[in-house]
Amino acid sequence: MNHTFASCSKCHAINRIQFEKADKAVCGKCKSPIQFHGFVSEATASDFHKIIKLSDKPVVVDFWASWCGPCKMYGPEFEKASRQNTNAVFLKVNTEVEQQLSQELGIRGIPCTLFFKAGKEVGRQSGALDSQSLVQLIQKI
């Protein structure tokens, strides 16, 4: 289980990426480079729904916005946690872009981290965390 899932920003194909190849990952469909921050990938609403259904690992999702100060502080900690825990898939969803998904999931404040297992939400945490606290939460799901 030494892999993660990421969506191609160009064609939105879902790709299974081996961790050791993440720095050179390309889309299996259109061959465009896939960008990671740590082992975190950006997701649209459609990408999010596909990945939580497809993933054989827990999925950890950071809902954030570019204007949010705590989100800016949390981002590097979220990325650090992704490098420390390869037993989960890490996604970021921009609430400014994906407003309907945020409403659908009842996101009331950001940053907000949601945890999914087998396609279902199994937990959520509001506010910024340090990487160690986030890793500990992941280990409990």
Band the pLDDT of 45: cuts 50, 70, 90.
very high
Q: What is the mean pLDDT of residues 93-121?
A: 96
Question: What structural domains and CATH numbers belong to the chain?
Answer: 39-140 (3.40.30.10)
Q: Which residues does the annotation mark as catalytic?
A: 68, 71
Neighbouring residues of 32: CB distance < 8 A, sequence distance ≥ 6: 8, 9, 10, 11, 26
Q: At what angle do helices 131-140 and 69-84 cross, to 10 degrees?
A: 60
Neighbouring residues of 99: CB distance < 8 A, sequence distance ≥ 6: none
pTM of the model: 0.87
**Tens digit of each residue's pLDDT (9 = 90 or more) over 48-91:** 999 999 999 999 999 999 999 999 999 999 999 998 888 899 99
Q: How far apart are CA 13 and CA 59, in angstroms?
A: 18
3-class DSSP assignment, residue 129: coil
Q: Using alpha carbons only, give the angle 63, 25, 55 rounded to the nearest 5 degrees.
A: 50
- How many CB atoms are closer than 10 A to CB 7? 22
